[in-house]
Structure 1
Amino acid sequence: MARALPTPALRPLLPADVPVLAAIFTASIEELTGDDYSEAQQQAWMDAAETEEFGKRLTADLTLVATLDGSPVGFASLRGNDHIRMLYVHPAVAGQGVATLLVDALEKLAGGRGVQSLTVDASDTAQGFFAKRGYIAQQRNSVTMNDEWLANTTMKKTLGAAQ
């Protein structure tokens, strides 16, 4: 008899999560962004997980952790009340609704705080995901990481009463 897949759950960031979230961050970039970024760009991006600043960014923001059977499989963070700063899902669960669960929760939290719109600086890889959710491209950006240029797109979604 087939066993049902576990349902993802959400919880707040715990200090002990930082190393496993860094591993999810790295695996996500390494395995999911190769069609949009060069190996050098990916490496420069992944190097951010190896700094103390990575943990500080997670704890400074409202960071939610998605879990399956109690193990972290993804995370997303909200900077202030209106900017999705990070959204990363382990490649093993990509396409299984984990990112949707995380962004749904951030949109509801922001809406509950009275925010009218949310922004995100979406990677080229994530842009389609956000577009399907009603985020509209506002501008292209170039950011430098370890002497590599990476492009992303600032996108914005107006939150409705249903949030």
Structure 2
Amino acid sequence: MGQALPKVALRPYLAQDAPVLAAIFAASIEELTGDDYSETQQQAWAGAADDEDKFGKRLASALTLVATLEGSPVGFASLKGADHIDMLYVHPAAVGQGVAASLCDALEKLAQGRGAKNLTVDASDNAAEFFARRGYEAMQRNTVSVGGEWLANTTMQKKLDDAKRPGAPR
């Protein structure tokens, strides 16, 4: 008989979460993006969390949710303003357990609650498929400079007013 996966719980970001979320951020980039970005690009991208105080301020400046499994943080996502997903990262060990979906469901619901008609995200190449499965459509390709390296991503948008209720079967 199979064992049920632990249930994902969400809670608001707390200042003391910065170190563990910085580690999740770096691990996610280093272990999950190798097919789409070079090692140099990954290092530059992950370097955004090297200064934990600055990283914590970025998390605190948005509505940031922390996903936990059995009480331990395994992912996080931030809603910037009413209508932009700024960050969504899951620890590689927790991929496939519904963490990203739970975080995205919550941000979509929060954005709707804030009156947003659309929700946008600048999705990394490895995350674009996840967002496409959730009904986000590619709007434009971007090239951004991060830590002296150029990285590509795609601005994607989902219409919320005619989107399915968060958590509904897809």
2:109 counterpart residue number: 108
Within 5 Å, give how 1:66-77 maps onto structure 2. Answer: 66-77=67-78
Overall identity of the aligned pairs, in %: 70
Shift of 1:103: 0.3
The C-alpha deviation readout for 1:57-79, integer Å capped at 9, x for no partner, is 10000000000011000000000
TM-score (norm 2): 0.92
2:57 counterpart residue number: 56
Give, in whole Å, the separation in 1 of the partners of 2:103 and 2:128: 16
The C-alpha deviation readout for 1:43-91, integer Å capped at 9, x for no partner, is 0001000123211110000000000011000000000010000000000
1:36 counterpart residue number: 36
Q: How many residues of Structure 1 are paired with residues of Structure 2 in the alignment?
A: 163
User: Which ranges of structure 1 fall in alignment gaps of 5 or more residues?
Assistant: none
Contact 2:5 2:97 in 1 (8 A): no
Q: Which runs of 4+ in 1 moved over 6 A?
A: none
RMSD: 1.1
Letter of the structure 2 residue corresponding to residue 100 of structure 1 = A
Give, in whole Å, the separation in 1 of the partners of 2:157 and 2:54: 26
Give, in whole Å, the separation in 1 of the partners of 2:116 and 2:80: 12
Contact 2:62 2:79 in 1 (8 A): yes
1:47 counterpart residue number: 47
Give, in whole Å, the separation in 2 of the partners of 1:66 and 1:105: 11
Give, in whole Å, the separation in 2 of the partners of 1:94 and 1:2: 19
**1:143 alignment partner, SS class:** strand
2:139 counterpart residue number: 138
User: Which ranges of structure 2 fall in alignment gaps of 5 or more residues?
Assistant: none
**2:135 alignment partner, SS class:** coil
1:11 counterpart residue number: 11
Shift of 1:152: 0.4
